[in-house]
Structure 1
Amino acid sequence: MRWSLYLQREHTKEAKAAEEDLRRKISEIAGKCDMQFRRAEELSASLAEGIQKPEEELTSWAKKLADCESAKSSEVECRLRVESECRRLRKQLRKADMRSQESQRRMEKAEEAYRHLRNETTDELKLRLEKCLNGFAMWGLQTLKWLKLDSLERRLMSAKTSGSAGHKQIVELVNTFSEVLNEARQNVEVEIVNVLRKLGVENSSYDAITVTSDGTTPETDLPQAVDIPELPL
């Protein structure tokens, strides 16, 4: 009985010692586990933080990529619009160039027709003007000639009536009459030539008084210096 109690106590002591040893080991294991758990939590937090940053960067890059795609799409659309506008402008430019060439050809034709008409009109006006000037000059010279002839005739008749006119005096009167008419004709010719030159008539004759108002060419209308035989007084 005592031996049994003794053994029971020993077993109890051993059990308690084993229990304490087990608790100690469990405590040590629990402490190590706690340390490993905290380490795991720290690593997990660090890993989560490390994962979050790439995710944020990935999100940022995804947004940038989307922006780039949008900008590229806008650029392509803008380029297409620009190319379309350039084609339209080139087409309009070709049409404008064709219209300009056609207008240039029409203008050249109009200028040529205008020059031709102007030359014809100018030449015709110059010819008419020259004829008018010649006719006017001949009319003036004829008038002057007849006035001088009338004056000469009166002077000759007066001299013949008075009996004081000599042959030499009559010749001098006739020659003076011729010189006055020649001088008047030359003055008129010079005036006509000057007028025609101012008007640009380059091919006009310097002998302007060659045509009468009716278109004939006088040859003996103007008196020349002559030798007059002695007249009976």
Structure 2
Amino acid sequence: MPDLPDEDEEDESSSEEQEEESVQGTPTAALCEQVVPLLRYLDRKVAKYDDPRHPGSYVELEEKLEEAKKELVKQREKLAEDLDSEQAQNRILSEEFVRQTRLLEQCQSARQADEELIRHLQSQCGELRAQRAEAKLQLAEIEGNCRRATDRTWKELVERVNHCLRGYTHWGVAAQERITLRGLEIRAAELMSDDSRSRRRVAKRLDAFISRSQDVIANLEAEVTEVLRRLGLRSRGHDWSGRELMRGSPSRRRHSR
């Protein structure tokens, strides 16, 4: 098979030489010299490309073209599928982007609201701190006033209690002196009287009077001591009671004689 083209070419070259020799010397010789080689060349090319056995023939080119078209269709379909997939993915991403954008806007709005709330709360905290400091100052002032008022009231109470104690002490001393004087008068009357019955009767009355007076004084002393104890002046009550008892004891001793 590979030797066939060479033989054809040799036959063609020999026939061409014969034709050239036959047309030489005629008027159309010049035209033939230009056209005939071109026609022969085209005939050889047509015969070559029409033969399906020859590599690079027209049939082979047609087959390759069909295969290329089929491959192009496949590639186009694949590209269309890829494009559809990419478009679907782009739509999903676009929707996700819109959702994320809205979420970001909501987050920014919430953040702005939180920042505004924080500023408002900080302002309120500052006001409350100022009010607290002012309340502390007012409380300290009120406590100072209450403490001074308590001290003043306590001093006044102590002065009044002392005044009452002094008055009660003077009254007790005067009463004890009157009792003692009355006892002396009765004893003097007894000494001047010779009636023993009257002396006994007068002595009984004097003893009863003295006993009642002592009971009254003891009750008053107990009440005053209890009041002093409630007021926190218990030591004063003990001192006063002991002092008054010491004052009253000489008269009783004198009476016992």
TM-score (norm 1): 0.61
Higher helix share: 2
User: 1:128-143 residue pairs with structure 2 within 5 A?
Assistant: 128-143=167-182
CA positional deviation for 1:28: 5.1
Distance 1:40 1:223, change over 3 A: closer
Q: Is the 8 A contact 2:179 2:210 kept in 1?
A: no
For residues 30-179 of structure 1, what are the structure 2 equivalents within 5 Å?
A: 30-155=69-194
CA distance in 2, matches of 1:224, 1:34: 152
Contact 1:133 1:192 in 2 (8 A): yes
Instruction: Output the CA distance in 1 between the equivalents of 2:68 and 2:160.
Output: 133
Once the two structures are TM-superposed, the CA of residue 96 in structure 1 deviates from its matched residue by 0.5
Deviation at 1:97, TM superposition (A): 0.3
Distance 1:224 1:114, change over 3 A: closer
**Cα offset, 1:110, TM superposition:** 0.5
Shift of 1:190: 8.7
In 2 relative to 1, CA 223–129 (structure 1 residues): closer, same or farther, beyond 3 Å? closer
* RMSD over aligned Cα atoms: 4.0
Task: State percent identity of aligned pairs.
Answer: 15
Q: Which amino acid aligns with 1:196?
A: E
Structure 1: stretches of 5+ with no match in the other structure: 1-13, 160-172, 211-217, 226-233
Higher relative contact order, structure no. (Cα contacts within 8 Å, ≥ 6 residues apart): 1
Q: Distance in 1 between matches of 2:256 and 2:164?
A: 34
Q: Counterpart of 2:120 in structure 1: which amino acid?
A: R
Per the alignment, do residues 82 and 224 of structure 1 end up closer, same or farther by CA in structure 2, a change over 3 Å counting? closer
SS of 1:207's equivalent in the other structure is helix
CA displacement, residues 89-128 of structure 1 (integer Å, 9 cap, x when unaligned) = 0010001000000001101110111111111110110011
Larger Rg: 2
Q: Secondary structure at the match of 1:208?
A: helix
In the alignment, the residues of structure 2 paired with residue 80 and residue 124 of structure 1 have an alpha-carbon distance, to the nearest angstrom, of 64
Q: Which runs of 5+ in 2 are unaligned?
A: 1-46, 52-57, 226-236
Distance 1:209 1:187, change over 3 A: farther
- Displacement of 1:63 after TM fit? 2.0
- What corresponds to 1:199 in structure 2? 224
CA apart distance, 1:199: 1.7
Question: Normalization by structure 2: what TM-score?
Answer: 0.56
Matched residue count: 185
The CA deviation string for residues 161-211 of structure 1, in whole angstroms up to 9 with x for no partner, is: xxxxxxxxxxxx9xxx8xx989x879967974674365234243433249x
